[in-house]
Amino acid sequence: MTQNRQIHLDNRPQGEAVAGNFKLVSAETPALQDGEVLVRHHFLSLDPYMRGRMNDAKSYAQPQPLGQVMQGGTAGEVVESRSPKYQPGDKVVGFGGWQEYSVVNADQPGALKKVDTTHVPLSHYLGAVGMPGVTAWYGLVKIIEPKAGQTLAVSAASGAVGSAFGALARARGCRVVGIAGGADKCNYVTKELGFDACVDYKQHKDAASLSKALKEAAPDGIDGYFENVGGMVMDAVMLRMNAFSSIALCGMIAGYDGQPVPMTYPQLILTNRMKVQGFIVSEHMEVWPDALKELGTLVGSGKLRPRESIAQGIESAPEAFLGLLKGRNFGKQLVKLV
Amino acid sequence: MTQNRQIHLDNRPQGEAVAGNFKLVSAETPALQDGEVLVRHHFLSLDPYMRGRMNDAKSYAQPQPLGQVMQGGTAGEVVESRSPKYQPGDKVVGFGGWQEYSVVNADQPGALKKVDTTHVPLSHYLGAVGMPGVTAWYGLVKIIEPKAGQTLAVSAASGAVGSAFGALARARGCRVVGIAGGADKCNYVTKELGFDACVDYKQHKDAASLSKALKEAAPDGIDGYFENVGGMVMDAVMLRMNAFSSIALCGMIAGYDGQPVPMTYPQLILTNRMKVQGFIVSEHMEVWPDALKELGTLVGSGKLRPRESIAQGIESAPEAFLGLLKGRNFGKQLVKLV
């Protein structure tokens, strides 16, 4: 039995999520049963979708239960095994939640996956070569279906999904315009990630102003857009979208706290004959192998150099998560536990 | 030369369209050149899309020019021909505009089409067996892609597009729920058109109330929706749509007068993994033959009995059109000239 610190959801947000919604709890790991392994988490993944699950609302996933460990992706190392499938020392990714250790039934399909850290650092399996990367891949390849020479755009461009989207789009011969908050992020998006342009939405106080800046960054209009944010940013991009363009709708951070954020110009979907499609990457497991292979190659070859914001220690998870929702992270937000 | 009364667009609407935007003008038809025919219009088609073209705004079509005949579909009879392709007496549909006669170059592809009025009355070629019918067909077959047993919904259900949508959906084994304004229209939708249910949106003053009524009419939720209206009606339907559902976006009458009407709950597109797609049927000419064949059979066999609102005389066109925008028509709105 090992001391295992955990973060529970203690109560649901009233509007904006706050630190008081979470609670640090100490427990002991249970003794392993046959077929189980004990995983020590090296990294926790913090992702915007978690905010949606904190509400007690109908959504694609069950709400995060109260009084239980916050759910989420993890990368770590097997430290004890009663399964022939895993040996201590195996590097694995799973869905262990906001805690230092998890006990996993190794026979449950998809619960754990061994990963090779020779060319790809362990943490990237929670980002560019994990769920966020596959999310970008699905939206780009299956919804936007880009053609070489088209102009694509992505919000939260410096983040885990946005940076992968940029690399995948560039590899397909597209012009890519990022939208990010602040000069530092925009510099990173163009200089390090190789986007063709980046617009700092914080310099614009309404959709009309942001849309004008997008017109300069995308003089031929926008053919495909990957939406991570919603609200004003989405309105501004919609004003610049071309006929027969597509929006892959993956996140709407703007609407997670309380009141829904309307779409101001839905008639553009009609006048521009657009397709707007929402998706959840976990429902498309069939694409993961192809997507992960391409993403692993991009990272391994240095064409995608994802940035990470790393908080230290389990106790830092709530504040790091709240910062993520406000865009304070820079790249993939992780918590390092070891 | 024949006396030819016409309705011109005299000035553009400031907000709501009004009768003063139009002007009745008398002209004479020009002498025919080789290859031309003179068509006497029996019916003008009035359609909601015309309101969009009255604005001087970027849209899928060029704005209706000022000081010229209002554009629109027409059905009539060839009365004089200098083309070997047409004889006087031929019944034809075309795009002759709001006037009593038009001179048409018979060699221009798609400008005129002969129709057979043995089983289908001439006027229906402007409705169920014309552009509105094909519009319903395209949204249903190509965007919603229904499966037998699913529940579908359509707004403006008693209108030309809505009534065709219902018959096409029923023929595919779907449950169909209409939305219409007033008890008379709802009665017609269920009793005459054979919809499974109809909700009177005029009985509801907000989306929450209308959504509740839709829940009774569609207890298993809505899998596909054909949108002719936008605004509050669309919000209410979106609240009842199932996971992996689709919306074919064809009209947004609610937003034609002035200010755009927002979509209140765009995050539902994400949480329900929906597809929302706009389209213009004139860009999909490849489907017209199949669609018209099915629609002609439905009308000829009595399975689709479209209703018409018929205004008399060219001078009545503006008021009939303004009534259409307010939902005062009942079925396909036409102007009869002969």
Determine whether the interchain pair B277/A276 forms a contact, defined as Cβ–Cβ distance below 8 Å.
yes
pLDDT in tens, A53-88: 999 876 667 899 999 999 999 999 999 999 999 999
Question: Mind telling me how many Å the CA of A83 is from chain B's nearest CA?
Answer: 37
- Mean pLDDT value of segment B31-56: 94
Chain A residue nearest residue B254, CA to CA: A267
Cα(A17)–Cα(B235) distance, rounded to whole angstroms?
27
Measured between CB atoms, which of B59, B255, B273 is closest to A278?
B273
pLDDT in tens, B84-93: 999 999 999 9
Is the pLDDT assigned to residue B314 strictly greater than 90?
Answer: yes
Write down the CATH number for the domain with range A131-282. 3.40.50.720
Distances in Å between the alpha carbon of A279 and those of A140, A169, A249, A264, B143?
12, 19, 7, 21, 17
pLDDT in tens, A88-115: 999 999 999 999 999 999 999 889 999 9
Determine whether the interchain pair B272/A60 forms a contact, defined as Cβ–Cβ distance below 8 Å.
yes
Question: What part of A 271-300 touches B (C-beta under 8 Å)?
Answer: 271-280, 283
At residue B60, the pLDDT reads 65
Chain B residue nearest residue A229, CA to CA: B267
Band of residue B338 on the pLDDT scale cut at 50, 70, 90: very high
Cα(A285)–Cα(B241) distance, rounded to whole angstroms?
24
pLDDT in tens, A267-303: 999 989 999 999 999 899 999 999 999 999 999 999 9
At residue A126, the pLDDT reads 97
Write down the CATH number for the domain with range B3-127+306-336. 3.90.180.10
Determine whether the interchain pair B58/A266 forms a contact, defined as Cβ–Cβ distance below 8 Å.
no
Chain B residue nearest residue A49, CA to CA: B271
Phi and psi at A245, nearest 5°, equal: -85, 170
Measured between CB atoms, which of B255, B269, B279 is closest to A273?
B279
Band of residue B255 on the pLDDT scale cut at 50, 70, 90: low
Q: Residue A200 corresponds to which amino acid? A: D
At residue A207, the pLDDT reads 96
Question: Mind telling me how many Å the CA of B248 is from chain A's nearest CA?
Answer: 9
Determine whether the interchain pair B261/A267 forms a contact, defined as Cβ–Cβ distance below 8 Å.
yes
Question: Mind telling me how many Å the CA of A77 is from chain B's nearest CA?
Answer: 33
B255 inside 8 A of chain A by CB: yes
- Cβ atoms of A261 and A252 closer than 8 Å: yes
At residue B163, the pLDDT reads 96
Is the pLDDT assigned to residue A162 strictly greater than 90?
Answer: yes
- ipTM > 0.90 (yes/no): no
Cα(A102)–Cα(A37) distance, rounded to whole angstroms?
8
A260 inside 8 A of chain B by CB: yes
Question: Mind telling me how many Å the CA of A144 is from chain B's nearest CA?
Answer: 12
Cα(B56)–Cα(B12) distance, rounded to whole angstroms?
8
Indicate where chain A has its CATH 3.40.50.720 domain(s). Answer: 131-282
Measured between CB atoms, which of B60, B267, B273 is closest to A260?
B267
Indicate where chain B has its CATH 3.90.180.10 domain(s). Answer: 3-127+306-336
A119 inside 8 A of chain B by CB: no
At residue A229, the pLDDT reads 84
Cα(A335)–Cα(A317) distance, rounded to whole angstroms?
6
- Cβ atoms of B226 and A222 closer than 8 Å: no
Per-position DSSP letters for A104-165, written without gaps between them: EETTSTTSEEE---SSS-GGGGGTTTSHHHHHHHHIIIIII---TT-EEEEESTTSHHHHHH
Determine whether the interchain pair B261/A269 forms a contact, defined as Cβ–Cβ distance below 8 Å.
no
Determine whether the interchain pair A265/B260 forms a contact, defined as Cβ–Cβ distance below 8 Å.
yes
Question: Mind telling me how many Å the CA of A21 is from chain B's nearest CA?
Answer: 23
β-pair type (B275-278, A275-278): antiparallel
- Mean pLDDT value of segment A304-317: 96
At residue A323, the pLDDT reads 95
Q: How many CB pairs under 8 A join A and B?
A: 101
Residues on chain B touching A161 (C-beta within 8 angstroms): none
Q: Within 13 Å of residue A43, how many CA atoms lie on the same side as its CB? A: 22
Is the pLDDT assigned to residue A171 strictly greater than 70?
Answer: yes
H/E segment holding residue A94: strand A91-94
Determine whether the interchain pair B273/A276 forms a contact, defined as Cβ–Cβ distance below 8 Å.
no
Average pLDDT along chain B: 94
At residue A252, the pLDDT reads 74
Cα(B199)–Cα(A40) distance, rounded to whole angstroms?
57
At residue A57, the pLDDT reads 75
Burial of B41 (0-12, 13-18, 19+ CB in 10 A): buried
Residue with tokens 């908050």: A181
Residue with tokens 């033959």: B289
Is the pLDDT assigned to residue B59 strictly greater than 70?
Answer: no
